[in-house]
Structure formats: C-alpha cells, structure tokens
C-alpha cells in the first residue's frame, strides 16, 4: 500500500494500489489526482462492516485464469454465511474453486447485493481448504451504486438433477445473442501482473452491442476514476465475461480478449469471443425484474 505522503515532495505521490496500466489510463483521461484520492479507500484489511456485508450475501462473483491461461468470470452461490471473514485479511468460501483454477492462483471477487445496490471487491490469492477455499486479501474496497439495477431476492429453487449440463462453444448462438442484447448487467474479470480483478458493468438493455457472433462492444460509462479494469486491459488483454439470467439462474460465460478504444466522444471496449460456456439453472437464486439505476444513460 502507499506510504504516507512526504510534505517536502512537490510531485503527486504514486498510489501503489495502481499498476502502470491503470496509471496510464488515469493520465490519459486527466484524473490522476482524483484517482489518488479515491485509491486511499483501497486496503488489505477487512473491516467489520465489510465482514458483515459479506456474510449476508447469497452470491459471489469470482474471476481467475484457468490452467491454460484463459480468464473466466464465474458465479458462486450459497446460503448467507457461505462467504465469511475468518480474520482481518482472510475470507473463507464454502464452495469449490471454479473448475480449472489452480490452487494458489490470484483471484478477484465481487460481492454484490442488488437489494441495496451495494458492492464490495476483494482481490487476493486463493487456496483450497476443508470448507472450500480461502482468499488472502490484498485489495479490499467498495464501489458506489452507479449503474446497479435494484432487484428483490425471491428465494432459491432446489437443484434440478441433470438440468444444468454446460454447453460449450466458440461463438455466440442466436439465442445467446438475444440474451446479451437484453442484458442490463454483466461482470468482467481481467488480469494484470499484480493480480486479477472482477468488476460490474450495468446499463439499460441494449448497452452491450453484439457486432458479430464473436464480437461484443460497450461504452465505458464514467465511474470512480480508478480504471482498474481498463488498466488491466492496457497490459493484458485477457478477459472473462459473465451474463446472468436473474429469473431462471442460467449463466453465460465468455472468455477472450478485450481492448479499449479512446475517442473524444467517449471510450468503447471491444471484446473478442474465444470460448463460451452456457449453463442452465447454474444458480438456484431467483430475483425480481429490475428497477433500473437512475445513473443509466
């Protein structure tokens, strides 16, 4: 973490919560000072309020690279309490690491509560345990509620034996194209030399464009000026996307490469699909239709 500022220095101190990719985007967008201020909220410890928030959640998004180097975003679910802090720097998750994730791998997690439009990110190193796995925290911070759609949790459905077989592909099917065009939310995992990060993207349906069965794009809306996701893409284009059908529990996971284009009229991120995994009934959680965020363009 960053050292206390030296009042004798005249240049802006470098917040070591940011790697060179994020710093480069902040410089390009003219938000270095704002990002430095916001970055002070990033810690390596889990405060009591954060621990209480985690323990109340029935789902956790996690991003990681598999043994072959592909980056994926995945959804984990359980009864509230399946994620819990076991110390000031460690959480325990009562679930298996996503398939293909090596023990000791860097991971990025996002706990999101649609009921309250609150979210929290925790990045660190995952190791298998008797309960499932643990994460030794390296970055812990919350985000503002911008672009989060509010939803009520209707409860959970029992597992359907044999109904959740995954369907693999290398390009989007017509039905998957329709799902993405109707989506108001997705999650993106990205990688960089200092770890993995998992973030949220939201907007009104149609905010994600399907330019072809292997190409997606979306506008990058103004956020907290950290540019963690875009910074990761500056140095490592691997990315994983997760789309969730909130009412049926279906998940659509995509792995591929992404980059961001910068223009006076705004930023656009483009994603090239390399692998797809669609899993019906992957989540037992059932959520209400959305109340769209007032921040959505």
Which domains, from first to last, does the chain contain? 48-146+170-287 (2.30.110.10)
Residue 3 has pLDDT above 80, yes or no: no
Percent of the chain exceeding pLDDT 70 equals: 94
Please give the distance of CA 276 from its chain centroid, rounded to a whole number.
Answer: 17
Residue 13 has pLDDT above 80, yes or no: no
| Average pLDDT rounded to a whole number, residues 218-243 | 93
Average pLDDT, the chain: 92
pLDDT in tens, 116-154: 999 999 999 999 999 999 999 999 999 889 999 999 999
pLDDT for 132 equals 98
Cα separation, 70 vs 50, whole angstroms = 30
Cα separation, 44 vs 90, whole angstroms = 10
How many other C-beta atoms can be found within 10 angstroms of the C-beta atom of residue 104? Answer: 10
Crossing angle of the two packed helices 20-29 and 32-39, in degrees rounded to 10: 130
**What residue ranges in 16-132 does DSSP mark as E strands?**
59-65, 71-77, 83-87, 90-93, 106-113, 118-128
Residue 1 has pLDDT above 90, yes or no: no
| Average pLDDT rounded to a whole number, residues 287-295 | 97
- Name the DSSP class of 48: H
Query: 91-100, 157-166, 226-235: which range is least confident on average?
Result: 157-166
Cα separation, 113 vs 149, whole angstroms = 10
257: tokens are 């490469």
| Average pLDDT rounded to a whole number, residues 260-271 | 94
Residue 268 has pLDDT above 90, yes or no: yes
| Average pLDDT rounded to a whole number, residues 169-180 | 98
């Amino acid at each position: 973490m960053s050292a206390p500022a030296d009042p004798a220095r005249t240049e802006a101190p470098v917040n070591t919560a940011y790697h060179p990719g994020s710093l480069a985007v902040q410089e390009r967008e003219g938000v270095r000072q704002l990002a430095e201020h916001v970055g002070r909220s990033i810690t390596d410890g889990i405060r009591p309020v954060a621990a209480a928030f985690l323990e109340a959640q029935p789902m956790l998004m996690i991003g990681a690279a598999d043994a072959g180097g592909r980056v994926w975003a995945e959804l984990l679910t359980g009864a509230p309490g399946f994620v819990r802090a076991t110390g000031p720097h460690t959480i325990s998750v009562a679930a298996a690491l996503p398939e293909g994730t090596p023990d000791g791998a860097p991971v990025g997690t996002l706990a999101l509560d649609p009921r309250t439009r609150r979210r929290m990110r925790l990045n660190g190193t995952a190791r298998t345990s008797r309960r499932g796995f643990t994460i030794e925290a390296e970055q812990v911070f919350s985000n503002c509620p911008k672009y989060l759609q509010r939803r009520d949790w209707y409860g959970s459905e029992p597992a359907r034996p044999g109904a959740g077989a995954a369907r693999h592909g290398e390009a989007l099917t017509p039905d998957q194209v329709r799902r993405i065009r109707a989506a108001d939310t997705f999650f993106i995992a990205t990688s960089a030399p200092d770890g993995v990060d998992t973030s949220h993207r939201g907007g009104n349906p149609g905010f994600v464009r399907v330019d072809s069965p292997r190409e997606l794009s979306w506008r990058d809306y103004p956020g907290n000026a950290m540019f963690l996701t875009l910074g990761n893409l500056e140095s490592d284009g691997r990315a994983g996307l997760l789309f969730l059908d909130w009412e049926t529990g279906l998940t659509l996971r995509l792995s591929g490469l992404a980059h961001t284009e910068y223009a006076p009229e705004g930023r656009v991120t483009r994603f090239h699909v390399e692998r797809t995994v669609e899993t019906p009934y992957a989540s037992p959680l059932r959520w209400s239709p959305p109340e769209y965020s007032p921040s959505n363009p």
